[in-house]
A = this chain, B = another copy of it.
Amino acid sequence: MATARKPNGQSSGQASGTSSAGATIYSVAERAGVSIATVSRVLQGAGTVSTTTTQKVLDAVEQLNYVPLGAARSLAVRHHEAHGLILPELSGPYYAELLIGFESRAAELGQSVTLMLTEGKADIARAVRQLATHVDAIAVLGSAAMPPAVARALHGQKPVVIIAGAPQEGIESVRAENARSAEQLTEHVLAHGRTRLLFVGDPDGAPDISERHAGFVAAHRARDLEPAEPLRVAFREGTGEAVAERILAGELEADGLVCANDELALAIMSHLQDAGRDVPGEIAVVGWDDVMAARYVRPGLTTVRQPVHDLGVLAAERLHQRVSGGRPLLEPQVLPTALVIRGSCGCAAP
């Protein structure tokens, strides 16, 4: 009855009963007195195995503390059961929330997620190729994270979905609505009687920002107002302070600031307040993202909440669909956003 084994090594003579560093399906089979096929069956839940045999196998697994080798399984089934997620960085709640959504949905679908952060990587293209090696499909946040060349290379090899990035060729993309919300937000500030609004953020920096700026412009046009040129600044904390300084110095004139994100808005607002300026009295400030701090500062920051979590969920879902043979969606998937009115725009709210 002893089952024959092909592979090498640790046959019977392996020390005591419990624990063996590299237990394989062969050792388990031997221990249980069955064939590897049977072991595989009970572990995969496929086929039918008698209760007694099942128990014997389970016991052997337990005793040997058997951990299947994922690589071997992946090779046999011909897919990794893993999704790759490429994020530019991980600061602030935006990326984290997206990651949470992505991971949770992926897990539900039985896929593990391999994360890669591009920030700080010397050779991103190399890292992406390395990632592609271990996963079935890849989601990238913001096109900037993945050089178009790499994207093109991957595309066709593995399913790719771009999250909140510039659409490329026939690559799928999912994103949040920006233009219309930005228009509403701007109109809201305008409706408070403000007339000299400034858009703080670089429209050329990311498609998201570009759309928000477009909304900013549209709101002005609707009132026959001429929008000022955007204040093209990057997203670092220091820049917020710098903008505030320029306003305090009278270099910049405005009675309302529409910032491309909350970090920027928060930094500017607190700096202005420290200098004795009244927000929103003298100048209204609104942001984008609804980060935690937005509801703790006073006045509360009026902003726009994005369905970031759902964006992650959607990305994971699309990837899984594609891996399962689904066709790529031609149209970008767009999720709705929501205005969050607090006090910094001039409303009575705290």
Smallest CB-CB separation from A19: which chain B residue?
B156
List B contacts of A70 (CB < 8 A). Answer: 71, 74, 80, 133-135
**Minimal beta-carbon separation of A58 from chain B (angstroms):** 13
Tell me, yes or no, whether A195 is within 8 Å of chain B by CB. no
The answer to whether A133 and B68 touch across the interface, beta carbons within 8 angstroms, is yes
A-B contact pairs, 23 of them (CB 8 A): A65-B153, A65-B156, A65-B157, A67-B129, A67-B154, A68-B133, A69-B133, A70-B74, A70-B133, A71-B74, A71-B80, A80-B134, A82-B114, A89-B100, A90-B100, A95-B96, A96-B96, A112-B114, A112-B134, A273-B298, A292-B292, A296-B296, A297-B297
A128-157 interface with B by 8 A CB criterion? 129-135, 153-154, 156-157
What chain B residues lie within 8 Å of A135 (beta carbons)?
70
Question: Within A65-121, which residues are at the interface with B (CB < 8 Å)?
Answer: 65, 67-75, 80, 82, 89-93, 95-97, 99-100, 103-104, 107, 112-117, 120-121
Distance of A274 Cα from B153 Cα, bound (Å): 55
A177-216: which have CB < 8 Å to B?
A: none
When A68-B133, A69-B75 are in contact, do A114 and B117 touch as well, CB less than 8 Å?
no
- Whole-angstrom distance between the Cβ of A301 and the nearest chain B Cβ: 10
Q: Given the interface contacts A68-B133, A75-B69, A96-B96, does A114 sit within 8 Å of B116 by beta carbon?
A: no
Contact residue among B75, B91, B297 (Cβ-Cβ distance under 8 Å from A96): B91
Stoichiometry, as copies per complex, reads 2
Known pairs A96-B96, A103-B116, A270-B298 / 11 extra A-B pairs, C-beta < 8 Å:
A67-B129, A70-B80, A71-B134, A91-B93, A92-B292, A104-B120, A107-B117, A114-B115, A263-B292, A273-B298, A291-B292
Does A21 make an interface contact (CB < 8 A)? yes
Residues in B whose Cβ lies below 8 Å from that of A89? 100
Query: Cβ of A323 < 8 Å from any Cβ of B?
Result: no
